[in-house]
Amino acid sequence: MYFRYSYLLKLKLSYPITYIKGISVQRATLLYSELGIKTCNDLLNFFPFRYIDKTTFYSIKELQPNSSEVQIVGKITSVKSVAQKRGTRLVAKFQDATGTMELVWFRGQKWIKDSLKINQPYVVFGKLNHYNGSFSMPHPEMELVTEYKKKLQTKMQPVYPSTEKLTNSGVSNKLVRTYIQNLLQQFYDKIQETLSNEIIEDFKFISKRDALLNAHFPKSQENLAKAQNRLKFEELFFIQLQLLRRKLINKTKIKGFVFQNVGANFNDFYSNRLPFDLTNAQKRVLKEIRKDVASGAHMNRLLQGDVGSGKTIVALLAMLLAIDNGFQATIMAPTEILATQHYLAIFELLETMDLNIDLLTGSVKTKKRKEIHQNLEDGTLDILIGTHALLEDKVQFKNLGIAIIDEQHRFGVAQRSKLWKKNTIVPHILVMTATPIPRTLAMSVYGDLDISIIDELPPGRKEVKTVHRFDSNRLSVFKFMKDEIKKGRQVYIVYPLIQESEVMDYKDLMDGYESVSREFPTPKYQISIVHGQMKPADKEYEMQRFVKGETQIMVATTVIEVGVNVPNASVMIIESSERFGLSQLHQLRGRVGRGADQSYCILLSSFKLSAEAKTRLKTMVETSDGFKIAEVDLKLRGPGNLMGTQQSGILNLKIADVVKDTKILVDARNTAISLLQEDSNLSKSQNDLINKAYLELSKTSKIWSNIS
């Protein structure tokens, strides 16, 4: 007895779940392998995904076609058997003061029919069906009101996520509920507060203990809302705290190179060689960058700007700043095509200046590669542009001052930091993305970066006219193409290429190419074709023919998504557009509308469209604002599928939802900001609890090490 008592005293939430009454080693192993639940704390933070609500009574008039499980009080007025395709079903007319509905049984009809009492008040509970304007409830749970009143009422019942294997091994929802009940009984006293009094008072939060208790076993909807609100805040708050602290530490501890001079190259280029006036947005961003790199702190900045907003020139000017201060600069792009395009564009812009630029991609031959390595190490090269090839160990800069990463979402965080590590002092980092990330998401994913936004397109751009057409209208689309080609324009036709159905997709592409070739015969028309299975040299050749205007039509898979810049191309036709994601459609559309002419985007699809596909196509037709499109995308797909979020902690959120809980996220972030302003080390006594929880989290949670 004595022994047992002392062991109880020492219980800790960090203990394995076998310490919870009723959980065997076997079960614990299963819970770990299926759900990743290892410690008592894990289980405590394993939240229900829904609740069976028996706290509310609905009247029949209140029922909505989307209400799922409801509880109603009423009387049965009649019962009959109704013949159906196979056998019969039992139907009871059920009514309350506000209306009538049906209760329906398919099994055990005789027994049920005998036990039903006519004209006596029942409490019924179950899932609703809605058909032809009326409601029915199959196989309801039911009880006479007289019986119901005698019992202690169960409240809202939690339903936990599960897996097939768990269910098959007898770990039912009921069992999990029991485990958590036991857990709360044994450990309730061990649950520590994690927020300061000040925050709790400011937001009128309930205590951590009550929040956890009510998140699992809420007494009412209202209590549940309070519990979830507090737990969501807390989850987002600690992530923000982590991100912001890291940023703070980077700012103060990591030394950055100081680009003090705005020197000869920058000034010469800015005053004499800029091919156009910068937009105000470009100027603003440039100022933000200049301020960063002159400050002595390390720049870690995300530059967001829609397709065609002119990020490249900003990157180039930033690189000139580095060069003027005696440093080298680099741009890393996700594809060979894009890297080459950057190289050509920048080479041309700097042609008359005395600077050394080179290109390093996977297809650069060994001899040339060695030469590049050499020139890089001895400092001959000022700017190196390339792909992943830049990350190889052999690539050593003499003194890399700034690294620019284009199309950020294609590189993982690990790669980002690999580029960083190429120097003893970390170079300034500018990450550029054309996939606008909604602000809230950016806050949670890239909370450690500073964010600049180019929210203005260069002048004279006309909005791309976008329409949706069904496959059956293909002939009129061909006709339209001919008209545009007659005016001297060029046309893209893009086919989906999705890994899982690669073989079929290539077949579609080839079939499409054939039918286009028949419709647009040589010698009047010339067609380029580019896809991922071609050799890089062949791809390049076909691409160049299109760039030079030797071909009028480019048939391609999504390889042209990024990078291709042909201002004369004014029509983008997307085949099977219902299969593309929103951000991809947006990127593709960005390939046209680069010149002075009115451009068009035609989204072709089959008749059969899912609701989601309809929304995507509708969104594309209605707007060309990348941020709006990103918001819709986020709502449709959730953050897990947004590019760039894979490595971030945002996926592992246990209770908060970055799409739905925007307001809480903003509160959490602002609270974290003002907290750090007052107490950057969390060393003040009123923040003890926060500090303790913070340290605990950074020790145990995998999420945390992933944020970088």
Distance CA 673, CA 240 (A): 8
- Specify whether the CB–CB gap between 570 and 490 falls below 8 A: yes
Q: Is 308 among the residues that bind ligand ADP (CB under 6 A)?
A: yes
Helices (H) and strands (E) in the chain, counts: 26, 22
- Specify whether the CB–CB gap between 104 and 139 falls below 8 A: yes
Which stretch of DSSP H or E encloses residue 487?
none
Footprint (CB under 6 A) of ligand ADP, residues 557-616: 565, 594
Q: Which residue has the tokens 């800015």?
A: 270
Which part of the chain contacts ligand ADP (CB under 6 A), choosing from 74-82, 200-208, 257-265, 303-311?
303-311
Taking the alpha carbons at both ends of the chain, their separation in whole angstroms is 49
Least distance from C-beta 345 to ligand ADP, angstroms? 7
DSSP 427: P
- Specify whether the CB–CB gap between 149 and 160 falls below 8 A: no
Distance CA 513, CA 493 (A): 9
Footprint (CB under 6 A) of ligand ADP, residues 482-501: none
Which part of the chain contacts ligand ADP (CB under 6 A), choosing from 276-284, 468-476, 477-485, 629-637?
276-284
Strand partners, 528: 554
- Kindly write out the interface string for residues 378-407 of this chain, putting x where it contacts ligand ADP by CB under 6 A and - elsewhere: ------------------------------
- Encoded tokens for 661: 């809980």
- Specify whether the CB–CB gap between 236 and 661 falls below 8 A: yes
- Encoded tokens for 224: 């549940």
Least distance from C-beta 598 to ligand ADP, angstroms? 17
Least distance from C-beta 285 to ligand ADP, angstroms? 11
Which stretch of DSSP H or E encloses residue 551?
none
| Residue 278 or 621 having the CB closest to ligand ADP | 278
Residue type, 312: T
Q: Which of 248, 412, 397, 255 is nearest to 319 (CA)?
A: 397
Q: Is 458 among the residues that bind ligand ADP (CB under 6 A)?
A: yes
Q: Is 310 among the residues that bind ligand ADP (CB under 6 A)?
A: yes
Q: Is 283 among the residues that bind ligand ADP (CB under 6 A)?
A: no
- Kindly write out the interface string for residues 519-558 of this chain, putting x where it contacts ligand ADP by CB under 6 A and - elsewhere: ----------------------------------------
Least distance from C-beta 344 to ligand ADP, angstroms? 12
The size of the interface with ligand ADP (CB under 6 A), counted in residues, is 17
| Residue 309 or 452 having the CB closest to ligand ADP | 309
Q: Is 276 among the residues that bind ligand ADP (CB under 6 A)?
A: yes
- Contact residue for ligand ADP among 41, 136, 242, 279 (CB under 6 A): 279
- Specify whether the CB–CB gap between 71 and 82 falls below 8 A: no
- Contact residue for ligand ADP among 44, 313, 405, 527 (CB under 6 A): 313
Least distance from C-beta 471 to ligand ADP, angstroms? 30
| Residue 74 or 563 having the CB closest to ligand ADP | 563
Which part of the chain contacts ligand ADP (CB under 6 A), choosing from 133-141, 310-318, 502-510, 695-703?
310-318
Which part of the chain contacts ligand ADP (CB under 6 A), choosing from 27-35, 300-308, 390-398, 464-472?
300-308
Q: Which of 371, 343, 373 is nearest to 355 (CA)?
A: 343
Return all residues near 375 (Cβ < 8 A) that are at least 6 apart.
356, 358, 381
Q: Are strands 99-105 and 134-138 parallel, antiparallel or unpaired?
A: parallel
Q: Which residues bind ligand ADP (CB under 6 A)?
A: 276-279, 282, 305, 307-313, 434, 458, 565, 594
